[in-house]
Amino acid sequence: MCAKQSIVVVCNRSIIDPAPPSTLPKPLPPLYYRTMNSAYENATCPYFTAGTCNSCSLLSIERGKRIATKEALVLKALSDRGLTPHVIEPIHVPVSPWGSRCKTKVSVTGSPRCPSVGIVRSDLSTQDLSECPLTPLHVQELFITLKEVIRERNLTPYNIEERTGELKNIIVMNNHDASQGIVRFVLRSPEAIPHVRESVAEIQARHPWVSVISCNIQPIPAAILEGPEEEILTHQRSIEVRYNDITLSFMPQSFMQVTHEIAEALYHRAANYVRENSFSRALDLFCGVGGFSLSIASSVPHIIGVEVSPMAVESAHLSASRMAASHASFFAADVENFLSHSLTDQPDLVIVNPPRRGLSEGIRKRLLDLKPAAILYSSCDPETFARDVSGMTSNYHLKTLAPFDMFPMTNHCEVLGILETKPSRL
């Protein structure tokens, strides 16, 4: 049987299990404590208690100090690079961490008879997390069906050591009210696509909110979540997700922030800053489906977005068309190449939202050459954020740092930095 300094205070979880909580620094006194979030500070998890999953590393922190610990990690990343923002805003945390994920990524291991959906540890041992409390209940129910599909269709989970099998990962995304969702089967080759196709009607009949089902092909024997090739198996190709006063389209390969509630706060903060200032031309780099671009569309008359994923750019065009935002243009291109060879406009506002690795040296140099009046830097890694910003301090000062708890109960944090040009010296 299968086993289940002078600071003014205004007050990509991974499938591979992270380092144990013992590596976390000791919590420092809180920068700001907006509220004693009881749902957050008193949360417990059976997987963590049993020692089978350490992903939610803040569960090891004393209750009442968890949010403060996350704040301390952000502050340490800044201080290690000698950065002192003029303002550090209150950290935005979800009402409750449990059930907050709108994007869930799991590895599929085991056998067709006894599949497991969860994590693969660094020693290649596995843990089923189909009832992870971060995962919404409707997705937990979906996992029950997907395990049945794996058994019935004889979809062989990928074996990392032997490099055999077909089904590597499953990625689930859902919209703001769980009325629409995407299910992606990440396969080693196209061989299993017909078996997945045969299951589409059954999955949608049992879970009507699943609007889009696709297969992604990732043939490389490495810890890479997905590959470039995607085959959509349903008539519907995208879902619509509401963020504040805009609606974004998402196709299977589109980047989606993992916690909808916090993504709304992130886009709202960026839009407020732009609304309170005057910009005429915005350049949105690593724009994804256009979350930042379209959030500021009512305030900026000319917007260019650049994103390497053609599917994400297609989604951005769909959203812009629906909003009648014809002044927002999106290009599928490598960001560094676009900056070097295709950019003709001179932006006075640049928004960057790079992957965890941050900005390349070439991109940082080009931004300094462009000399926009302001840079909004959204990052899922405070350390690479601090590295990049510290290299721009000759021309810019970090006016504001706003932390966002995009990854509840983990030591990861999203940050939004507002950089403005320093006054010129005579």
Q: What is the pLDDT of residues 55-103, one digit of tens each?
A: 999 999 999 999 999 999 999 999 999 999 999 998 999 999 999 999 9
pLDDT of residue 223: 84
pTM for the full predicted model: 0.90
Q: What is the pLDDT of residues 410-421, one digit of tens each?
A: 999 999 999 999
pLDDT confidence of 328, banded at 50, 70, 90? very high
Q: What is the pLDDT of residues 363-396, one digit of tens each?
A: 999 999 999 999 999 999 999 999 999 999 999 9
User: Residues 333-350: what's their mean pLDDT?
Assistant: 95
Active-site pick, 45, 53, 132, 380? 380
| Spatial CA neighbour of 290 closest among 262, 323, 261, 265 | 323
User: Residues 191-202: what's their mean pLDDT?
Assistant: 98
Q: What is the pLDDT of residues 233-279, one digit of tens each?
A: 999 999 999 999 999 999 999 999 999 999 999 999 999 999 999 99
pLDDT of residue 304: 98
pLDDT of residue 39: 87
Domains observed in the chain:
103-237 (2.40.50.1070)
Residue 239 tokens, joined: 């879902």
pLDDT of residue 55: 94
pLDDT of residue 108: 97
Is 380 among the residues known to form the active site?
yes
pLDDT of residue 333: 97
Query: Does the pLDDT of residue 20 top 50, yes or no?
Result: no
pLDDT confidence of 425, banded at 50, 70, 90? low
| Torsion, CA 343, CA 346, CA 348, CA 350, rounded to 10 | 10
Q: What is the pLDDT of residues 123-153, one digit of tens each?
A: 999 999 999 999 999 999 999 999 999 999 9
Q: What is the mean pLDDT of the chain?
A: 91
Q: What is the pLDDT of residues 23-45, one digit of tens each?
A: 444 444 444 444 446 789 999 99
User: Residues 324-346: what's their mean pLDDT?
Assistant: 95
